[in-house]
């Protein structure tokens, strides 16, 4: 019975407690918009561990966006070299932010759940193929 690694659970946006259930329904870039599930379908953990918990994801998302803007700006500079037009940078940065919005939405919550909330702990006993509910 293989256990799920933390890395795999983060990449696949799985529940931080059992690493089996999906945090989101809907696909990242699908036509059905992704929504955050209330509870884990595998272990029953409530993802919004306290009222307003996911407001914290805004700060994570902010950090993501700043990093992406810096990287896209630098990349634009490296690719275009001498072009000094600010509109080139503004267009490239805004387009990348727009394209990456679903990624930021998903992974800001995943990072918050997996890495920034110490009270949520992985429990290997829940990481099984047997369906467990209401623990
Ligand atoms: Zn779970």
Q: How far is the CA of 122 from the centre of ligand 1 (A)?
A: 9
Using CB atoms within 10 Å of the CB of residue 113, give its burial: 0 to 12 exposed, 13 to 18 middle, 19+ buried.
buried
Confidence tier at 5 by pLDDT (50, 70, 90): very high
In the structure, ligand 1 is a single-atom ion and the residues with CB under 5 Å from it are 15, 17-18, 21, 40, 42-43, 45
Residue 21 in tokens: 């259930």
How many angstroms separate the CA atoms of 7 and 19, rounded?
A: 10
Q: Give per-residue pLDDT as tens, 52-87.
A: 999 999 999 999 999 999 999 999 999 998 778 899
Residue 130 in tokens: 């047997």
Q: How far is the CA of 129 from the centre of ligand 1 (A)?
A: 12
How many angstroms separate the CA atoms of 62 and 53, rounded?
A: 16
Q: How far is the CA of 115 from the centre of ligand 1 (A)?
A: 15
Buried b (16+ CB within 10 A) or exposed e, 76-99: beeeeeeeeeeeebeebbeebeee
How many angstroms separate the CA atoms of 36 and 48, rounded?
A: 9
Q: How far is the CA of 123 from the centre of ligand 1 (A)?
A: 9
Phi and psi at residue 75, to the nearest 5° = -65, -45
pLDDT at 1 over 90: no
């Amino acid at each position: 019975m293989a256990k799920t690694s933390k890395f795999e659970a983060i990449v696949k946006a799985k529940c931080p407690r059992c690493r089996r259930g999906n945090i989101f329904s809907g696909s990242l870039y699908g036509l059905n918009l992704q929504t955050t599930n209330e509870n884990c379908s595998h272990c029953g953990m409530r993802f919004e561990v306290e009222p307003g918990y996911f407001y914290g994801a805004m700060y994570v998302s902010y950090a993501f966006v700043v990093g992406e803007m810096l990287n896209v700006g630098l990349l634009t500079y490296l690719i275009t070299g001498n072009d000094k037009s600010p509109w080139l940078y503004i267009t490239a940065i805004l387009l990348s932010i727009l394209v990456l919005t679903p990624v930021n939405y998903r992974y800001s919550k995943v990072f918050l759940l997996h890495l920034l909330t110490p009270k949520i702990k992985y429990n290997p006993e829940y990481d099984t193929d047997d369906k467990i509910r209401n623990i």
